[in-house]
Amino acid sequence: MSFRKELADEKVGSLPLRDAIAVDGHTVVRAAVALMRSHGLGCTVIVDHHCRPAGIFTEQSVIRMLVQGVCLDTTPVSQFCDPHFFVLRTDDPIEKAWEAVTRSGARFLCVTDKSGELIGLTGQRGLSEYLCDTYSQQVTVQRLGSAPWMLQREGA
């Protein structure tokens, strides 16, 4: 089966999902940043009162905010939403996630269930892990680290 066909046949629900941090739009930036740091995640998802995604605050938002010199303690995250905001359902094809990342430069993709409620995040990392699983014979044998391959090999 070709890679394109796999992307079209498989569902977003089968991608590795990460737990999302959900906040409401009034959450101040300092609190959102603290949550992102404690979860080791590059974004928080702004949700409405039905837990449906309404926007996303990312590391890129943090950069814009610092350049504009706004106050972390009074500025709500909703003022610095990232324009790359995509919502996918678990039964969407993975192809849709692939397109969002390659064509639109999205880094994070919010994933919802059929009712539209946020259940997790995927994106560049999830798709990279999917690639790694699909082509494990090629990917998992690769050298990792900062020393050249020939310095790590024994003998020869």
Partner 1 sequence: MSDEKNYRTDDPTDHLSDYEPVDYTDPVRQRLAEEPVEAIACQPCMSVSPTTTVREAIETLNESEVSSLLVVQDDRLLGIFTERDVLEKVVERYERVAHHPVEQFMTTDPTIVYSSDPSAAAVAAIAVAGHRHVPVLDLNDKVHGITSPRRVFEFLDAVAN
Contacting positions for partner 1 (CB under 8 A): 2-4, 7, 30, 33-34, 36-37, 42, 59-60, 62-64, 66-67, 72, 98, 101-102, 105, 107, 124-125, 127-129, 131-132, 135, 137-146, 148-149
Provide, rounded to whole angstroms, the least separation between the CB of residue 43 and partner 1. 10
The residue among 51 and 72 lying less far from partner 1, judged by its C-beta, is: 72
Nearest-approach distance from CB 9 to partner 1, in angstroms: 14
Q: Give the nearest distance from C-beta 14 to partner 1 in angstroms.
A: 16
- CB-nearer residue toward partner 1: 47 or 82: 82
Task: Write phi, then psi, for 140 (nearest 5 degrees).
Answer: -75, -10
Q: Measured between alpha carbons, how far apart are the two ends of the chain, in Å?
A: 38
User: And the tokens for 130?
Assistant: 């999917």
5/95 Cα distance (integer angstroms): 9
Conformation bin of residue 108: beta by default, left when phi > 0, alpha when psi is -120 to 50: beta
H runs (alpha helix) in 40-93 = 59-68
